[in-house]
A and B are shown apart, each in its own frame.
Chain A
């Protein structure tokens, strides 16, 4: 009887056995990890670490030039009793809600307008984008001059037209200043909304409108029953971004008013900067910034549920 030799003879103890490290280097399952590592490193270094550090700082009394010690919720307790903080929360909500709502209405209107056939369509579309591509600080400085208490072109024009007899104090009066920064934010934000919605509109087949026209729909009914429902997923995405950008806005307000007059235009972002960097109380500034997280999370949650694929978008896709 002969035994069939199926495995290699085990008489070579000096044979090369790869180390764990060498095997990990070529293992197919680990391959994905290697590929993800660079991206993960970037995200951890520039996103997760600063975020974690910020949250940690909000629980310390750290100041510029001095490492803080853990103080628990003291910063938050302090803010809870701080009327300026609550004013900044109110300002931020007002700023976000008013600016986003107006940006949506104007952006949608512009998108519908630009979706029509008209001469010089391409040029007009690029002009609409200009406010978006100008650097924020540059446009903020332009607005600063437009709103200047002495040299405002608006005041000057209105005086020349004989409509008013003295300069408007755009940035000196609390409500005027709020309106002015909101206007500047809308001016900057409309192109993003308009162009994105326009892209959405262009995916709607013209024959749907023709079918609706034959079905007897008026212009308004075509918008209400065809355009709007088909556009809702894109509206949800655009408005989420618009709300997030507006809520966290800093540059425009800082360049225009630095939160003044008398904190009337302080947003949470600008207040956080003022307390944390200018006044050097890093812990308190971090607490204000961290306090923005629940609001942002809520905005994302709302859009998450709004953006969930609707039933009509699901199902087999055989076109």
Chain B
């Protein structure tokens, strides 16, 4: 187990910079999730950590060793690939023992290592099978088994669950998290799925267009997003944004499109008239007599909650209610955001106010 330090790392592909100075501290034993939309550079960063891509500038250290020029096999890391990358011509046992075999371990040692990992992952009955004979979830476990056998300093996961169906994905999510709690190996996990990030991570790194937007614990990111991008990326359904102006004279409030007025707990100093984006999470709406009038467009009940799409000041917003309101499209309701849970962003920079 080791800490990992990523310091001001840049990556260019033929003059085109895809990572613009990324710094991420990763503590020993942490489960860090790199999350962001596709093309944000998260997979590239992971591959640089693995040694599969060169580092254009900056440093990456594993433990207290800078690994910029260290060969992948000497970095003492193990990686689980999106397509699992299982060797099709080897049995499960051979797949898992391949790294030990290359290290020159005795067949006794290999057998022990494979057995230990197979026990952890419940793979004992599958050891003699070939990858083609396994289901998606089993292949996924073999790929993890191959990583565990090596007992590395750091585990790297590159979107490991994206090839699984929805139900299996949820199950494997729990399994990976539980595995980490048992092994306590430093883990870097790349995904584009914010739910995976929220549920699994000790620390989430939100990336966008080659920069780090915010680093923090899942609930930190949820409660205090640094900017509009993080606010929109974390949380499902996504946060609602309304453009408008602050009124800071007297009691603070927000003036949105078409004369819409929404409450604020407080406004930053000297911000009267400032152009802002008013962000409110769907679950922070309530129905109240002093709310703003909205017209229901679509109602989507899921059983545990109801998602309501409505026009508020001419803009479509989504609200989520745990209560079972009887709404019909076209109904007029009064929606009120909880003022203490509202987020304000600068309209020009998108930064949190």
Residues of A within 8 A of B (CB): 205, 207-208, 210-217, 221, 225-226, 229-230, 310-319
* Partner among A205, A210, A216, A230 whose Cβ is within 8 Å of the Cβ of B103: A216
Cβ contact within 8 Å between A311 and B79: no
Interface centre among A214, A216, A313 (most CB of B within 10 A): A214
- B73, B88, B89, B131: the one contacting A215 at CB < 8 Å is B73
Using Cβ atoms and an 8 Å threshold, which residues of chain A touch B83?
205, 207
Asked whether A226 lies within 8 Å of B87 as measured between CB atoms, the reply is yes
Q: Shortest beta-carbon distance, B33 to chain A, in Å?
A: 20
What CA separation (Å) do A260 and B168 show in the bound complex? 71
Assuming the A-B contacts A214-B50, A229-B89, are A312 and B130 also in contact, with contact meaning beta carbons closer than 8 angstroms in the complex?
yes
Contact A210 B87, CB 8 Å, known A311-B130, A314-B132: no
Given A214-B72, A312-B90: A205 and B85 interface contact (C-beta under 8 Å): yes
- Among residues of B, the one whose C-beta sits closest to the C-beta of A232 is B89
Measured in the bound complex, the distance between the Cα atoms of B299 and A104 in whole Å is 67
Interchain CB contact under 8 A, A207 and B85: yes
Contact A312:B79 (CB < 8 A) given known A210-B52, A214-B72, A216-B102:
no
Shortest CB-to-CB span from B205 to chain A, Å, is: 22
Closest to B163 in A: A319
Give chain B residues whose Cβ lies under 8 Å from the Cβ of A212: 87, 98
Smallest CB-CB separation from B91: which chain A residue?
A: A312
Partner among B52, B82, B131 whose Cβ is within 8 Å of the Cβ of A213: B52
- Cβ-closest chain A residue relative to B77: A214
Residue positions of B touching A, CB distance < 8 A: 50-52, 72-73, 77-79, 81-83, 85, 87-90, 98-99, 102-103, 129-133, 135-136, 146, 150
Bound-state Cα–Cα, A208 to B83, Å: 10
Q: Identify whether the interface residues of A are mostly helix, strand, loop, or mixed.
A: helix
The docked-state distance in angstroms from the alpha carbon of A210 to that of B50 is 10
CA distance A208 to B82 in the complex (A): 11
Q: How far is the CA of A210 from the CA of B130 in the complex (A)?
A: 20
25 contacting pairs across A/B (C-beta < 8 A): A207-B85, A210-B50, A211-B146, A213-B52, A214-B79, A214-B99, A215-B73, A215-B102, A215-B146, A215-B150, A216-B99, A221-B102, A230-B88, A230-B89, A312-B89, A312-B90, A312-B131, A312-B132, A314-B130, A314-B132, A315-B129, A316-B132, A317-B132, A318-B135, A318-B136
Partner of A214, one of B73, B88, B89: B73
Closest to A318 in B: B135
With known contacts A208-B87, A213-B52, A316–B102 Cβ distance under 8 A: no
Chain B residues with Cβ below 8 Å from A230 are 88-89
B152 (CB) vs chain A CBs: closest residue: A214
Contact (Cβ within 8 A) B87 A217: no
Besides A210-B52, A316-B133, 19 new A-B residue pairs in contact (Cβ under 8 A), listed by A number: A205-B83, A207-B81, A208-B85, A210-B79, A211-B81, A211-B85, A211-B87, A212-B87, A212-B98, A213-B73, A214-B51, A214-B72, A214-B79, A215-B98, A229-B89, A312-B90, A312-B130, A316-B132, A318-B135
Name the 6 nearest CB pairs between A and B, nearest first: A216-B73, A215-B99, A211-B85, A315-B133, A207-B85, A312-B130
With most chain B CB atoms within 10 A of its CB, the pick from A211, A216, A318 is: A211
Query: Nearest residue in B to A317 (C-beta to C-beta)?
Result: B132
In angstroms, Cα B73 to Cα A230, docked, is 22
Q: Which residues in B have their C-beta under 8 angstroms from that of A210?
A: 50, 52, 79, 81, 85
A310: which B residues are within 8 A, CB to CB? 89
A-side contacts of B130, CB under 8 Å: 311-312, 314-315
The one of A208, A211, A217, A313 that contacts B79, using a Cβ cutoff of 8 Å: A211
Complex contacts, B52 vs chain A, CB 8 Å: 210, 213-214
Give chain A residues whose Cβ lies under 8 Å from the Cβ of B79: 210-211, 214
B319, chain A: closest CB distance, angstroms: 41
Residues of B within 8 A of A226 (CB): 87
Q: Closest residue to B78 on the A side, CB-wise?
A: A214
Closest to A206 in B: B85
When distances are taken between beta carbons in the complex, the residues of chain B under 8 Å from A211 are 79, 81, 85, 87, 146
Nearest A residue (CB) for B150 = A215
Closest CB-CB distance, A207 to chain B, in whole Å? 4
Q: What residues of chain A lie closer than 8 Å to B73, measured between beta carbons? A: 213-217
B98 and A225: CB pair below 8 A? Answer: yes
Minimal beta-carbon separation of A64 from chain B (angstroms): 55
**Measured between C-beta atoms, what is the minimum distance from B111 to chain A in Å?**
17
A230 to B132 alpha-carbon distance, docked (Å): 14
Q: Which residue of B lies closest to A213 (CB)?
A: B72
- Counting chain B CB atoms within 10 Å of each CB, the highest count among A210, A215, A315 belongs to A215
A316 to B138, CA, bound (A): 13
Contacts of B78 in A (CB 8 A): 214
CA distance A312 to B90 in the complex (A): 7
CB distance from B264 to the nearest CB of A (A): 51
B158: nearest chain-A partner, CB-CB: A207
Minimum C-beta distance from B23 to chain A (A): 24
A29 to B130, CA, bound (A): 40
How many angstroms between the C-alpha atoms of A213 and B150 in the bound complex? 13
User: How far does the alpha carbon of A317 sit from the alpha carbon of B146 in the complex, in Å?
Assistant: 22
Cα A217 to Cα B101 with chains together (Å): 10
